A and B are shown apart, each in its own frame.
Chain A
Amino acid sequence: MTKSELMDIIGRKQKHLPAKDVELAVKHILEVMSDSLSSGERIEIRGFGSFSLHYRPPRMGRNPKTGEAVALSGKYVPHFKPGKDLRERVNTGRENPIRS
């Protein structure tokens, strides 16, 4: 499922709302979530899961082209932990083939 398919599905279930509103709402939800994580704030959605930041310490890396050593500074990466309801539903749906 892609973002536009998600917008279509939600739109079909909220027929009283103009498609444009649904489209903006989906974009806005994702924007608010990205803003939250990029300002270091966690996201907690009961039954779905939580997003937080994990720290990656500084390390020495290499330029793959020249083989030259380069110092890489520490950074944060987004991390998602699925909630109980999502974990259970995904596992119950195990007989469905995985599709992209």
Chain B
Amino acid sequence: MALTKAEMAEALFNELGLNKREARELVDLFFEELRSSLARGEQVKLSGFGNFDLRDKRERPGRNPKTGEEIPISARRVVTFRPGQKLKARVEAYAGTGEQ
């Protein structure tokens, strides 16, 4: 199982008393605003959770794994996530079964 937007909205409905429509809209807006910020070049810092950073990559040589044909990987901008101290500490403590 994975956590989805529907479950996040459900949690806002159950625990904050927002109605279902408001809860869904807030969850949608939350992710939409993170996307828009990153799309306009603004990195995102969510203290306690982590930072979404942007990196500009230069063009580099690549290969089509199926055909073996050489094709350049074009220059691009990518998002990276750097988890914050608090999240890292909480996740580190997870003694899971290794299925992920």
Chain A contacts to B: CB under 8 angstroms: 1-3, 6, 9-10, 13-14, 17, 21-22, 24-26, 28-30, 32-34, 36-55, 75-80, 82, 85-87, 89-94, 96-100
Count CB-based A-B contacts (< 8 Å). Answer: 182
Q: Does B71 contact A (CB under 8 A)?
A: no
A9 and B33 within 8 A (CB): yes
Q: How many residues of B contact A (CB 8 A)?
A: 60
A90 and B30 within 8 A (CB): no
Chain B contacts to A: CB under 8 angstroms: 1-5, 7-8, 11-12, 15-16, 18, 22-23, 25-27, 29-31, 33-35, 37-50, 52, 54, 56, 76-81, 83, 86-88, 90-94, 96-100
Q: Quick one: which of A14, A21, A25, A49 has the most chain B CB within 10 A?
A: A25
**In the complex, chain A residues whose CB is within 8 Å of the CB of B52:** 80
**In the complex, chain B residues whose CB is within 8 Å of the CB of A24:** 16
A17 CB, nearest partner CB in chain B, Å: 7
**In the complex, chain A residues whose CB is within 8 Å of the CB of B27:** 29
Tell me the complex Cα distance, A77–B89, Å: 9
B62 CB, nearest partner CB in chain A, Å: 16
A1 and B44 within 8 A (CB): yes
**In the complex, chain B residues whose CB is within 8 Å of the CB of A52:** 100
Residue from the list A21, A32, A39 in contact with B11, Cβ < 8 A:
A32
Tell me the complex Cα distance, A52–B2, Å: 9
A41 and B30 within 8 A (CB): no
A36 CB, nearest partner CB in chain B, Å: 4
B78 and A87 within 8 A (CB): yes
Q: Which residue of B lies closest to A10 (CB)?
A: B29
